[in-house]
Amino acid sequence: MQLVLEKRAERSATIALISPLIAIGLTIATLCIVFAVLGKNPIAALAVYFIDPLTDGYSLQEIAVKATPLVMIAIGLSLCYLANAWNIGAEGQFLIGAVAGSWLAVKTQGTDAGHWVLPAMLVLGAAAGALYALIPAICKVRFGASEILTSLMLVYVADLLLDYLVRGPWRDPQGFNFPTTAEFDPVATVPTLIEGGRLHLGSIIALFVVAAGAVLLGRTIKGFEIRVVGAAPRAARFGGFNANQLVLLTFAISGALAGLAGIIEVAGPVGHLQPGISPGYGFTAIIVAFLGRLNPIGILIAGLFLALTFIGGEQAQIAMKIPLDVTKVFQGILLFYVLACDSLILYRFRLISSSPKVQSGAH
Amino acid sequence: MKRTLFAAAAILLAGCINSGAWAADKLKVGFIYLGPVGDLGWTYQHELARQALVKELGDKIETTFLENVPEGPDAERAIEQLVRAGNKLIFTTSFGYMDPTLKVAKKYPNVHFEHCSGYKRDKNMSTYSARWYQGRYIQGLIAAKMSKAGVLGYIGSFPIPEVVSGINATMLGAQTINPNIKVKIIWVNSWFDPGKEADAAKALLDQGADMIMQHTDSPAAMQVSSERGKLAFGQDSEMIKFGPKAQLTSILDTWAPYYIERVKAELAGTWKSEDTWGGLESKMFEMAPYTNMPDDVKKMAEDTQAAIASGKLHPFKCPVVTQDGKDVECKGGDHLEDTQILGMNFYVKGIDDKLPGK
């Protein structure tokens, strides 16, 4: 007898839906083993990870704060990936958005600029992100350059540009040479929603983005084009859809959303521009996009879930002295299982009786 | 499913009751670490001090740490998580936590904070740091004696005053032995990046330096020096096992006495916001044994160390001359005043390089 992976005749819709659930179930099972090996009570540990953070307003706010950039970026990425355009450089677009918006905040610092500053910063951030994302898109459409490589490499360019600016021209004169701008003025800061908490306007914007993404994909011709170009390029060509135009469009949208997320993060929770504003949001968002099955609502849930693991991971360090590495292992195995379970959508396991020839050949 | 939920709820409840009971008799002390506890440098030294603290006062306190906390938007949340878990005294152990610590301190006036190496304070937020420049001066003397090429390689993290004053102190020490000593500086723009640190060490050695000094936290540069058969100075912790034939000495961060003192004050209810800047005399840092050098150099180092500790010798004794030949105003009598060292933003004469951002 032999276990083989066999291609399914058609995609299984049921499996497509439950595959992420199986992945989460397997992850939790693996996690329990890890906890047990570490000598921690698995149930108590799981409670700290997944239930405790949901039981008080503070942690819920923090989850929303952490999920906001992830969800915004992932929505944009999902459009790219659906259209078969592989934007891996959202991290760079995030940073460029942060830099472009911060430019205005730095320039208006200490002047009595009015409340137009923040909206203008957000527009600048989104525009810069879009333009930055168009570079790899244009290179792909015009010259056939791999957008995976070019968009990824532009991340480092953005990172170094930010680094240069905060170390040189934009450095806080009172900052003892530390690489940071001065704290932004109140008019250049994203307002918080709840007194004493960190939940900010950006989270509301993220919800709008999710809704807009759902409408675009589900209710508009453009959304239909995006899905057809990705799923059946030949059919799309016969249908007269312009794949190149869609590459440009999805890259621009995705860059704009990443840039917007960048400036919101800087003008919100951070409050000034400095290196290290992103603990890899642009890359984590790729996981969020796939975990959410490239579906806007799915992405919202996936973003919140991943944020929960960050907050829960910290609480596990505090309450149960579980090392941070376990949280990282956890996020890693989650992605591993998601990808593994995804193969079940297109393939299935089957037992077949192996030929005697193979058996004798074994020795 | 229901049963698991019940079990989870029961455990949660038990946990809450339990922690409530703990809070009643034990003081909770929290720590925020920049790197992993196993970085063998900066964070490792804070972790050793925490362990010493637990050994000394373990029956009265309970400690918790969060490691690998980035100096960005996550820091504020991490600190607040410690507050919400009931920690009453919290040590935030890196410069970049300054603004997040201050924000949380303003929000929780009844919790006490200790921020390492910053300059912003509040009623419930102290700062503490060590006068590492004293150790750098001694290293400068040793380096000038031991270097054949007369060229020192220096790996810098960020051009902040702490690091700049370290470079200056090194050069002032070295110049007393060899007035023509040269230094080559590479900024790696990170406190902890073993890959970059090793590359910097290789580049410096390739450029003709025959001795490596570092203001970064990993032992990578020590390993490179050791492989190339060159001498080097460790940083933060004892790095002799990474270069048994290479390490001359190392500046050891010894936070334990300070942590124990502050926690005792908290227990006694006498904690108040202070600015502590301890030197060799207070054992806020120590020098690792002087190794891989002749006896006369070792003796000179020990004598210098004693002179600095007793206050007879000040590394920044006047006149201090800047790179472009100007005398620095002597605000502290016969040496520079502390504020001038804390805000140091110039190179001293003899450094043939440009301070980034100047």
Pair B95, B157: CB distance under 8 Å: no
Alpha helices for B251-346 (secondary structure H): 256-268, 295-309, 338-342
In a domain, A277, yes or no: yes
| Residue B14 CB partners (closer than 8 Å, separation 6+) | none
Q: pTM above the 0.90 mark? A: no
- Terminus-to-terminus CA distance in chain B, angstroms? 64
**Mutation to test the B interface, candidates A35, A178, A322, most B Cβ within 10 Å:** A178
| Closest-CA distance of chain B to residue A140, Å | 33
Q: How far apart are CA A148 and CA A131, in angstroms?
A: 17
Closest CA to A246 of A257, A258, A233: A233
By the CB < 8 Å criterion, does B18 face chain A?
A: no
For the record, the structure tokens of B9 come out as 């709820």
B187: tokens are: 């900024």
Q: Which helix (H) or strand (E) is A228 found in, with range?
A: helix A221-231
What pLDDT does B16 receive?
40
Distance of CA A218 to the CA centre of its chain: 21
Instruction: Indicate the residue of B66, B71, B73 with minimum beta-carbon distance to A265.
Output: B73
Q: Is residue A328 part of a domain?
A: no
Residues 6 or more apart in contact with residue B254 via CB below 8 angstroms: B45, B49, B283, B284, B285, B286
A193 within domain boundaries: yes
- B54: amino acid identity, one letter: V
Report angle CA A198, B22, A327 to the nearest 5 degrees.
Answer: 50
Confidence category of residue B14, pLDDT binned at 50, 70, 90 = very low
Asked if A178 and B158 come within 8 Å (Cβ–Cβ), the reply is yes
The predicted pLDDT at position B258 comes to: 96
Residues B66, A43: C-beta atoms closer than 8 Å: no
- Which of B85, B96, B357 comes nearest A171 by C-beta? B357
Q: Which residues of A touch B159 (CB under 8 A)?
A: 177
B180-237: pLDDT as tens digits? 999 999 999 888 899 999 999 999 999 999 999 999 988 999 999 999 999 999 999 9
* B66 chain-A contacts, CB cut-off 8 A: 314, 317-318, 324
Alpha helices in B178-309 (DSSP H): 194-206, 220-227, 256-268, 295-309
- β-bridge mates for residue A351, sequence order: A3
**A248 part of a folded domain:** yes
pLDDT in tens, B125-140: 999 999 999 999 999 9
Q: Could you give the C-alpha distances from A318 to A60, A256, B65, B80, B81, in angstroms and in order?
A: 17, 37, 7, 12, 8
| Matching residue, tokens 């099972």 | A29
Q: Please tell me the predicted confidence (pLDDT) of residue B17.
A: 41
Nearest by CB to A176, from B76, B85, B119: name it: B119
Amino acid letter, A187: V
Q: Provide the shortest C-alpha distance from residue A59 to chain B (in Å).
A: 9
* Torsion angles phi and psi, residue B29, rounded to 5: -120, 125
Number of neighbours of residue A4 by Cβ within 10 angstroms = 11
Binning chain B into helix, strand and coil, the percentages to the nearest 5 are: 45, 20, 35
Mean pLDDT calculated for residue range B316-344:
91
Tell how strand B285-287 and strand A347-352 pair up.
unpaired
Are B112 and B121 within 8 A, CB to CB? no
In angstroms, the CA B185 to CA B22 distance is 50
* Residue-level pLDDT at B220: 95
Provide the β-strand partners of residue A6: A348
What are the start and end residues of each CATH 3.40.50.2300 domain in chain B? 25-130, 132-250+285-342
Report CB contact under 8 Å: A270, B12. no
The string of pLDDT tens digits covering residues B28-47 is 999 999 988 887 889 999 99
Residue A312 lies in a domain: no
Nearest to B228 by CA among B241, B215, B246: B246
Q: What is the CATH number of domain B132-250+285-342?
A: 3.40.50.2300
d(CA B318, CA A64): 55
Round to the nearest angstrom and report the end-to-end CA distance of chain A. Answer: 17
Residue A80 lies in a domain: yes
Task: List the single residue in A with minimal CA-CA distance to B80.
Answer: A58
pLDDT of B20 > 50? The answer is no
Residue A130 sits in which domain range? Answer: 67-294
Chain B nearest-CA residue for A180:
B96
B343 touching chain A per CB within 8 A = yes
- The residue of A318, A321, A329 whose CB has the most chain B CBs within 10 angstroms, and thus the best one to mutate to test that interface, is A318
Residues of B in contact with A58 (CB under 8 A): 80, 84
Neighbours of B37 (CB within 10 A): 19
pLDDT at B12: 45
- Dist CA B93 CA B77 (whole Å): 15
Closest CA to B48 of B237, B222, B221, B233: B237
User: Residue B71: which pLDDT band, with cuts at 50, 70 and 90?
Assistant: confident
CB contact, 8 Å: B29 with chain A?
Answer: no
Share of chain B above pLDDT 90, in %: 78
- On chain A, the residues whose CB falls within 8 A of the CB of B115 are none
Q: Distances from the Cα of A107 to the Cαs of A101, A121, A171, A185, B111, in angstroms?
A: 10, 11, 12, 11, 37
Architecture of the domain spanning B25-130: 3-Layer(aba) Sandwich (3.40)
Residue bearing tokens 């290789």: B202
**Cβ–Cβ contacts within 10 Å for residue A242, how many?**
13
Which pLDDT does position A131 carry in this prediction? 98
What pLDDT does residue B188 have? 92
Contact between chains at A314 and B66 (C-beta distance less than 8 A):
yes
Asked if the C-beta of A212 comes within 8 angstroms of chain B's C-beta atoms, the answer is no
Using a CB-CB cut-off of 8 Å, the residues of chain B touching A324 are 36, 66-68
Question: Rounded to an integer, what distance in angstroms lies between the CA atom of residue B354 and that of residue B347?
Answer: 8
- Classify residue B21 as exposed, middle or buried by CB count within 10 Å of its CB (0-12, 13-18, 19+): exposed
Interface A–B counts its CB contacts (< 8 A) at 100
Token representation of residue A202 = 């950006």
pLDDT score, position B15: 43
DSSP string computed for A197-227: S--BHHHHHHHHHHHHHHHHHHHSHHHHHHH
Complex-level ipTM: 0.81
Nearest-CA neighbor of B356 among B163, B184, B187?
A: B187
Looking at chain B, how many residues does it have?
358
Q: Rounded CA gap, B23 and B50, in Å?
A: 19
H-helix or E-strand containing B31? strand B27-32
CA distance A323 to chain B (A): 8
pLDDT at residue number A363:
46
Q: What is the mean pLDDT of chain B?
A: 90
Total domains in the fold of chain A: 1
- Stretches where chain A sits below pLDDT 70 are 354-363
The two tokens of residue A341 are: 């379970």
The torsion of the CA quartet B226, B230, B236, B238, rounded to 10 degrees, works out to 50
Each residue of B171-181: pLDDT tens digit? 999 999 999 99
Give the integer Cα–Cα distance in Å for A332 and A329: 5
Q: What pLDDT digit, counting tens, does each position of A308-340 carry? A: 988 998 899 888 888 888 888 888 888 888 888
What CA–CA distances, in Å, run from A39 to A25, A44, A45, B343?
Answer: 21, 12, 11, 48
CA distance B75 to chain A (A): 10
DSSP string, B108-124: -TTSEEEEET----BTT
Q: Give the type of residue at A53.
A: P
Distances (CA, A) of B188 to A315, B156, B192, B212, B249: 33, 6, 9, 14, 22
Give the per-residue pLDDT at B22. Answer: 46
| Residues of A with Cβ-Cβ distance to B63 under 8 angstroms | none
Q: Do the chains contact at B7 and A321, CB–CB below 8 Å?
A: no
- Look at residues B292, B313, B356 and name the one whose alpha carbon lies nearest to residue B172: B313
